[in-house]
Amino acid sequence: MFDAETAKKIVKVYVPGATIEECVVYKSNFLIRVAHAAKEEKHFDPFYLVNSQTGEVEEFSIMTDGDLDEIAEAFGISL
């Protein structure tokens, strides 16, 4: 099982140059928001999901890949 600090390190390798802005638990995994370093990537989705069991990383769109209410709650935002 991976912890949040390890998940952040995995994303930094997966997305070189990105700055980790926030990491929250979402559906027993880690949802990580980054700031992309390259200007041409500034419009890319800044979210990545790290599987807490395997460490696998996948790009994540909060609009199409998840439940907006649950995501907002994980980030401490009220809709």
Interval 37-63: pLDDT, tens: 877 766 778 999 999 999 999 999 988
79 in a structural domain: no
Run of H or E residues at 57: strand 57-60
Mean pLDDT of the 4-33 span: 96
Mean pLDDT of the residues in the chain: 91
Find the domain containing 28 and state its range.
Answer: 4-74
Would 59 be classed as within a structural domain? yes
Helix, strand, or coil (residue 10) = helix
Q: Does residue 45 sit within a domain?
A: yes
Local confidence band at 78 (pLDDT 50, 70, 90 cut-offs):
confident
**Alpha-carbon span 21 to 44, nearest angstrom:** 15
Answer yes or no: is 50 within a domain: yes
Asked whether residue 26 is assigned to any structural domain, the reply reads yes
Task: Assess if residue 60 is contained within a domain.
Answer: yes
**This prediction's pTM:** 0.89
Domain count, the chain: 1
